[in-house]
Amino acid sequence: MSEHPPNDEIYLDNHASTAVDPRVIEAMLPLMRSEYANAGSITHEPGRRIAAMIQECKEQMLGLLGASGGQLVLTSGATESINLALFGVALHPRQKRRRILVGKLEHRAVLDCARKLARQGFLVQSLDPITHDHHDPSVPERPFHIGRIDIDAFKETIDDEVCLVSILLGNNEIGTLQDMRPIADLCRAHGAILHLDATQAIGKVPLGELSLQADLVSFSAHKFYGPKGVGGLLMTDPDLMLTPLIVGGGQQNNLRSGTLNTSGIVGMARALAIASESLESEMPRIYALRDQLWQKLRSSIPGLRLNGPAWNKDFPTDPKELYGLPGNLNVQFPGVDGQSLMLKVPGLAVSSGSACTAAEPHPSHVLTGIGLSQDQARCSLRFGIGRFNTSEQIDQAAKKLAWAYSQLIQFVA
């Protein structure tokens, strides 16, 4: 098997997964070759070294996430973290509230948890986003807010019976970044626990105080150039009570039993450190590549439409003006099925939506949720531009797509 993808492949699916940074691999190798003891085996020196190493990684990650006083539960990834957050809060014996609010455009991991809780008697309600149909010409910046929670509607929905609110910080399909301050303030005012799904945002945008505005923050290492199979659930209040999903050993304060993935944890900590160090230079470069791809495609394909929030050509100096993930581009190709377009350019790795729903025949709930018809959603593709993409690759991808589109549109009546 080849160690690297073929030279003619262009990978633009960095929302689904990223390449493991070589520096991360280097940090992980000793944990596979020589330092392979179990972190729970503290009766001998090798085990104590691993336990100390894991603790150091946790403290480092808490610091990088701006939550040094919090607790970090190490998991197998964002899906497990989300399950622990939602079921852990809702099913705790002391939880008396029975209402749960979730964003309408959430990842399936959240939506499926919410559906299961609804079957167990909880009242689950969706929070409406700002859609294309809500555009007000008198508010010129409104298109920048596509996909954000409608705060006015949220104010009318939340009350003192809500136990949990779950919000996707950076949308995995259209890239929308939520304005968390008013959401967090309303949750705090009503005593509701706020869970933030930061899977796509951590390592891609500065969190600032975002992590501290939420009670629970879930993430996964393979979204920021770390290994697959490891992630975390940040608890900004270490005294928050959760019901564990996995028992059988009492590790991690009884919140998540099981032998720790030591090489993965070390890799995740290194990946997060690299992402934090390079964020200032990496964001504007990826932002520019996203704009380059959009401009190239738009100049070649008539009627191309952007799904999701718009952006200004120049990278914003104020983080509040960053309305979407820098590397996200979701585009509607008029008159052509997105899946057919992908098949026409086999060397180009893109997607028609979330990797977790790629096998489903239904159109994206995110795209229909912001006002697109089912046909428009099926005409759309998602591009995820990342650390290892180049300007030359973007040009090549645009040319390949423009050619493929010109071939397919001929068969449209």
The Cβ of residue 409 has, within 10 Å, a number of other Cβ atoms equal to 15
Backbone angles phi, psi at 33, to 5 degrees: -95, -45
Burial environment of residue 129 by CB neighbours within 10 A (0 to 12, 13 to 18, 19 or more): buried
Q: What is the pLDDT along the chain (413 residues), one digit of tens a residue?
A: 344 455 579 999 999 999 999 999 999 999 999 999 999 999 999 999 999 999 999 999 999 999 988 999 999 999 999 999 999 999 999 999 999 999 999 999 999 999 999 999 999 999 999 997 665 555 556 689 999 999 999 999 999 999 999 999 999 999 999 999 999 999 999 999 999 999 999 999 988 665 568 999 999 999 999 999 999 999 998 889 999 999 998 999 999 999 999 999 999 999 999 999 999 999 999 999 999 999 999 999 999 999 999 999 999 988 889 999 999 999 999 999 999 999 999 999 999 865 554 455 689 999 999 999 999 999 999 999 999 999 999 999 999 999 999 999 988 75
pTM of the model: 0.94
Residues of the chain with CATH 3.40.640.10: 22-272
The Cβ of residue 17 has, within 10 Å, a number of other Cβ atoms equal to 16
Residues of the chain with CATH 3.90.1150.10: 10-20+278-409
Choosing among 3.40.50.720, 3.40.50.150, 3.40.640.10, 1.10.10.10, the CATH entry for 22-272 is 3.40.640.10
Catalytic residue among 57, 187, 356, 379: 356
Per-residue model confidence (pLDDT) at position 211: 57
- CA–chain centroid gap for 401, Å, is 26
Cα–Cα distance measured from residue 84 to residue 95, given in angstroms and rounded to the nearest whole number: 15
- DSSP code for 177: B
Find out whether 269 and 57 touch, Cβ atoms under 8 Å.
yes
Per-residue model confidence (pLDDT) at position 7: 59
Cα–Cα distance measured from residue 400 to residue 300, given in angstroms and rounded to the nearest whole number: 11
Pairing of strands 348-349, 162-168: unpaired
- Taking alpha carbons only, the member of 115, 105, 325, 78 closest to residue 197 is 78
Backbone angles phi, psi at 299, to 5 degrees: -75, -15
356 is annotated as an active-site residue:
yes
Per-residue model confidence (pLDDT) at position 1: 36
Pairing of strands 162-168, 193-197: parallel
Choosing among 3.40.50.12710, 3.40.190.10, 3.30.2320.80, 3.90.1150.10, the CATH entry for 10-20+278-409 is 3.90.1150.10
